């Protein structure tokens, strides 16, 4: 038995592509990342970003994770934050499905909704609000998934 749900992230099966592999060497396989606990490869990304922030002391016990998200990275961050005891605030555009908002809330995340009608560089956009909150809330850390090098590096 493993210690937490996070121990199961990345332990997804390799499935050989039998038809494509006929007569080929080496065998071509697919990694089924949808079988991660949060349902996508973004579980790996979230954990990698959090662990890097912990190593660098950007995120400390009792800290707050603040991120602009519209999808699966938020699920991975919320799941990891729940396990590790971090407060989590997600800033999301108003076009998000109720299902996604309820899922993130079930992990304990707080949700801030922003209008999609504002320009992307507006301080009222979901990235602008996340930036402001990360400046205003003490002991917070913003993963900034689109610029964080731990995001693409986890794929290799």
Q: Which of the residues are catalytic?
A: 42
Contacts of 115 (CB under 8 A, 6+ apart): 93, 94, 124
Rounded to whole angstroms, how far apart are CA atoms 99 and 133? 24
Closest CA to 130 of 142, 146, 148, 145: 142
Smallest Cα–Cα separation from 80: which of 125, 126, 47? 47
User: Which element (helix H / strand E) includes 93?
Assistant: strand 87-93
Report the distance separating Cα 5 and Cα 41, nearest Å.
Answer: 15
Instruction: Report the distance separating Cα 74 and Cα 91, nearest Å.
Output: 10
């Amino acid at each position: 038995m493993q210690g937490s749900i996070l121990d199961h992230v990345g332990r997804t099966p390799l499935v050989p592509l039998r038809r494509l592999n006929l007569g080929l060497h080496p065998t071509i396989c697919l990694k089924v990342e949808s079988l991660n606990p949060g349902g996508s490869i973004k579980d790996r990304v979230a954990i990698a970003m959090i662990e890097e922030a912990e190593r660098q002391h950007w995120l400390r016990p009792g800290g707050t994770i603040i991120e602009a998200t519209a999808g699966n990275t938020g699920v991975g961050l919320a799941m990891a934050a729940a396990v590790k005891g971090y407060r989590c605030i997600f800033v999301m555009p108003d076009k998000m499905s109720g299902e996604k908002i309820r899922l993130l809330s079930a992990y304990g995340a707080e949700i801030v909704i922003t209008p999609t009608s504002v320009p992307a560089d507006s301080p009222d956009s979901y990235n602008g609000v996340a930036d402001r909150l990360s400046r205003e809330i003490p002991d917070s850390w913003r993963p900034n998934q689109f610029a964080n090098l731990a995001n693409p590096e986890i794929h290799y």
